Structure 1
Amino acid sequence: MQIDIPEGKEPITYVWGEMVPGIGTAAAEFSLAVYAHTTLGLREFEAARLRIAQINGCLFCLDWRTDRDGDKVEDGFDEAVAQWRTTAVFDDRTRLAAEYAERYALDHHGLDEEFWDRMRAHYSQPEIVELSMCLGSWLAFGRLNHVLGLDAVCVLPGH
């Protein structure tokens, strides 16, 4: 881990809450907001989230499964996300969510009109903005947790 945590402190709570409270608390609220206020379907939400987790390498992001009133994606969904181009278990929206996540993280300059035409055919403009904000949150904060080593020593609250 790259950050010294005082004895008796839980690392994620310390770094995200106490260490830089003006920024960390706001970041934590944004991170939680994408789960609390999303209008996206569970499968497309999780496909995008897991693809970012796979790219970031964040251990607890990879382990996490979003729960909506007891509903979670099926076992093996993470493997389907890794194979988003060829998997037979994704509909167009779910496949596009995984593709957008990958391109957002690795090739955002390559998002061309052909891609946007496909996105607009399956997602409304508010959904595109919402998904983009979710991707930004997951990319930034999952990467932060991995780079600082928090993902190797922390368990998400309630998990």
Structure 2
Amino acid sequence: MVLAPKMLSVVVKLESLTRKITLDKGFSELMKLQISQINGCSYCINLHSKKAIKLGENKRISALNNWRQTDVFSEKERLCLELAEKITLIAQNKITDDFYSKITKHFSDKEYTGIVMMINVVNLWNRIAIPFGKK
């Protein structure tokens, strides 16, 4: 990737900070996979699918596209998946006061901030990978 090293190192550092959030690692990969699917980044879809499988998420990968209709995700996980959709498609899916109130009942301010940042970092990676030919 032809990108100024300092800029890329900032993204890498931001990503490393988001790894400290309290979500299950397997579920975090499922969220990253969902975001990458929405953005159409096949490179990232492949990457996060492999990581999720290594973390034992085989069954839930197949349920990810229909997460609203399946019972394999907890209420907290469903809220995270919904938040990931809302942020990734923010122009179409507003984060209402009701949704914010609902999700912050399940997560501390620090956890919520970490989840929001993780979602944004994945979106950033997708938006870097695609223009550099990692479609």
Mark yes or no: TM-score above 0.5.
yes
Please name the residue that 1:5 is paired with: none
Q: Which runs of 5+ in 1 are unaligned?
A: 1-11, 152-159
Larger Rg: 1
1:53 Cα deviation after fit:
0.9
Distance 2:62 2:101 in 1: 27
Please name the residue that 2:63 is paired with: 80
Rate the CA distance shift 1:31–1:79 in 2: closer, same or farther, 3 A. same
Please name the residue that 1:148 is paired with: 132
**Amino acid of the residue matched to residue 89 of structure 1?**
V
Q: Give yes or no for contact 2:43–2:134 (8 Å, CA) kept in 1.
A: no
Distance 1:97 1:43 in 2: 13
Rate the CA distance shift 1:46–1:93 in 2: closer, same or farther, 3 A. farther
**After TM superposition, which residue ranges in structure 1, 4 or more long, deviate above 6 angstroms?**
none
Deviation digits for residues 38-79 of structure 1, max 9, x if unmatched?
322235423321221111111232122447xx9614214233
1:52 to 35, 51, 70: 35
TM-score, normalization by structure 1 = 0.71
TM-score, normalization by structure 2 = 0.82
Q: Which runs of 5+ in 2 are unaligned?
A: none
What is the root-mean-square deviation in Å for CA atoms of aligned residues? 2.3
Identity of aligned residues (%): 25
Distance 2:79 2:56 in 1: 17
Q: Give yes or no for contact 1:46–1:73 (8 Å, CA) kept in 2.
A: no
1:115 Cα deviation after fit:
0.6
